[in-house]
Amino acid sequence: MPSLSELALYMRGLWLLFLGDPAGGRLLDLTDRGMTRSFYAALLCLPSMALSWYWWHEAYVSVLPKDVGTGAMFFVRLAMVEAICWMVPLILIGLLLVSFCAKQKFPALVVVANWLSLPFSYAYAVLILIALLVPSLQGLIAILWFSLLLTLVFSFSRIVKFFVREQPLLVAALVMTLLIPGMILSEVLQRFLGVYPN
């Protein structure tokens, strides 16, 4: 598990890359080992994920008949959806890079995608917490949610440009591959596994 000092270093690296400073790349472990260790980001995101699962559970239960529960399997299924939606975009990014003859970029982009998910996961968790505590702010939360999504798209695209220079088509394809398949898969799997509020 990366230490707090390592995490701070990785976040600083991402921030510098976002600003266009190449020094940020030297603060990230972009090796194969670093790619493997970057999956600790999923473990570190668990508290924020748990909050989102609770929020989703409350939305699901709110449309059920009174006194009807869900059981622990509901959360197991949500965890399965989360894991699949985390991995599939990364696999697709790998295939995309192979098709563009840029497979050597794969470890770096996995590292960026995984560690970038950490601050955004907790930012979304803050919005969920506000939505749970102050339901009257649903409209504002929706606007902030969309703004956060745009910020993620912009951030990832700026950082990807550092690794994929002079290939704007590949940059656009990578950004779309990171986001769109996960969004589609999430709803499809939730409906298939019966954890989608009707």
Per-residue pLDDT tens listing for the chain (198 residues) = 888 899 999 999 999 999 988 898 899 999 999 999 999 999 999 999 999 999 888 888 776 667 666 788 889 999 999 999 999 999 999 999 998 888 899 999 999 999 999 999 999 999 999 988 888 888 888 999 999 999 999 999 999 988 887 778 888 899 999 888 888 999 899 889 888 876
The CA distance from 18 to 79, in Å, is 30
Q: Which two tokens stand for residue 168?
A: 């704007």
Instruction: Quote the pTM value.
Output: 0.89
The dihedrals phi and psi of 185, each to the nearest 5 degrees, come to -60, -40
The CA distance from 155 to 89, in Å, is 17
For residue 137, which amino acid is it?
Answer: L
For residues 97, 39, 161 and 186, what is the CA-based torsion angle, rounded to 10 degrees? Answer: 70
Sorted by where each begins, the domain ranges of the chain are 4-192
